[in-house]
Structure 1
Amino acid sequence: MTTDPLTLNNTALAGRHVRLEPFDESLREPVRAALDCDPDAWRLFAINGQGADFDAFWRALNGQVAQGGWIAYAIRHAATGAIVGTTSFLNIKPTRQTVEIGGTFIHPDARATLVNAEAKYLMLAHAFAAGMRRVELLTDARNARSQAAIAKLGAVREGVLRRERVTWTGHVRDSVLFAVTDLDWPDVRARLERRLGAAGPA
């Protein structure tokens, strides 16, 4: 299989509950509206996508996309058609066959649904179909909700990267590292498919 990052790029990923749409200018204002909430959650992110910081956030993500190491998606809720958040592939490393999933913000109204689970399922399936060997997920050590959600996917908690980055608030962050490898993927996929198939509409 190829691991050229172009096999991951500019591809919408569609499921029963969500559609992941690569950023383009037509999505700027719907994404802005979806992200302009929950300041307590944003304080746990590395960069801020809320309020007056949104335009810099949008430029930064699109700049990373232009360099080829990042793919940013808007998350569209299939039932309503509304944009309800964002998520990204980042640190795409084709020679190492690794990629990270991160930058995921889900609007509070969509958090108690299958939106995040299916978004992660679609991204994991896309990454492994493209030949990736390892998919990493990092989150702030203070963010218990994020850690629980990642663990619920079936990702393996591998440890804590101490003082791993400085966030937009100036906080020196410890990051918890989770991963799903190609060897883990069959069990993780089955687990997610059972979860997605057993529940009703998102």
Structure 2
Amino acid sequence: MKLSPIVLEDAFVRLEPFSEALKEEARAALDCDADAWNGMVAAAYGAHFDGWWDAALRAMAAGSRIAYAVRRRSDGAVVGTTSLYEIRPEHRRCEVGSTFYRPEARGGAINPACKRLLLDYAFSNGAIRVEIITDALNAASQAAIRKLGATFEGVLRKHKITWTGRARDTAQFAILDEDWPEVRQRLDDRLGRLA
């Protein structure tokens, strides 16, 4: 499995790997909805942004993450971020996540389009397992992950500490390479209805 920081795009979104040229657009996209950050391991709004950004760039340099700015194709606005992370070529696995969208970009085509691009890129380049995790308290996120067609694998108790200091239980989902054709078709059908 070999994943590199390349641009991924479709009719709805353009995923651009983080670079210094994108920093201020990403900052503006994330500087909102403080309550939505409470279940995250790290916050990236307001004063939290610079440390979060620098950590993402360090992980990219180490090859364990590809962080993307999510640019909406309809108007060219950066409306959030998402990542391929916990990249483990030796196990042919990675995670899709570290995702945040501005409130007006939630729902609709943005999230399924991003997931379609990221999953296709991972599986086309040798992944056999892609994980998607979320706070066990975040019912909306879990519903969105289930809607993708990912399999729920259980709850990891006290799995991560959020930036607020809470010991977070994590709901774990995964898509395997043999699941991907069906998941891809579901996403394609869904995006076709949103076109």
Compute the TM-score of the two structures, normalised by the length of structure 2: 0.98
Distance (Å, rounded) in 2 between the aligned partners of 1:33 and 1:56: 15
Instruction: Provide the secondary structure at the position in 2 that maps to 1:131.
Output: coil
In structure 1, C-alpha distance between the alignment counterparts of 2:59 and 2:90, rounded to whole Å: 18
Q: Which one-letter code corresponds to 2:107 in the other structure?
A: A
Q: Which residue, 150, 155, 161 being the options, matches 1:160?
A: 155
1:78 aligns with 2:73: yes
Query: Match of 1:95, SS?
Result: helix
Number of aligned residue pairs: 195
| 3-state SS of paired residue (1:53) | helix
Mapped to 2, the partners of 1:187 and 1:166 lie a distance apart of 34
Shift of 1:198: 1.5
Deviation at 1:167? 0.8
166, 170, 174: which one pairs with 1:175? 170
Matches within 5 A, 1:35-184: 35-184=30-179
| Distance of 2:102 and 2:4 partners within structure 1 | 24
User: For residue 27 of structure 2, what is the aligned residue in structure 1?
Assistant: 32
CA deviations over 1:144-186 (Å, ceiling 9, x no partner): 1111111111101110000001110000000000000001001
SS in 2 for 1:180: strand
Residue 112 (structure 1) shift: 2.2
Q: Runs of 4 or more off by more than 6 Å in structure 1? A: none
Local SS of the residue matching 1:85: strand
How far apart in 2 are the matches of 1:69 and 1:40? 28
Rounded Cα–Cα distance in structure 1 between residues aligned with 2:64 and 2:48: 22
Deviation of residue 9 (structure 1)?
A: 1.5
RMSD (CA atoms): 0.7
Q: Is the 8 A contact 2:18 2:69 kept in 1?
A: yes
> Aligned to 1:84, what secondary structure does the other structure show?
strand
Structure 1 gaps of 5+ residues are none
SS at match of 2:91: coil
Distance in 2 between the 1:133 and 1:37 partners? 35
Identity rate, percent: 50
CA distance in 2 between counterparts of 1:133 and 1:199 reads 29
Aligned to 1:23: 18
1:156 maps to a residue whose letter is T
Unaligned runs of 5+ in 2: none
TM-score normalised by L of structure 1: 0.95
1:76-122 residue CA offsets vs partner (Å, 9 max, x unmatched)? 00010000000001111111110101100011011022000000000
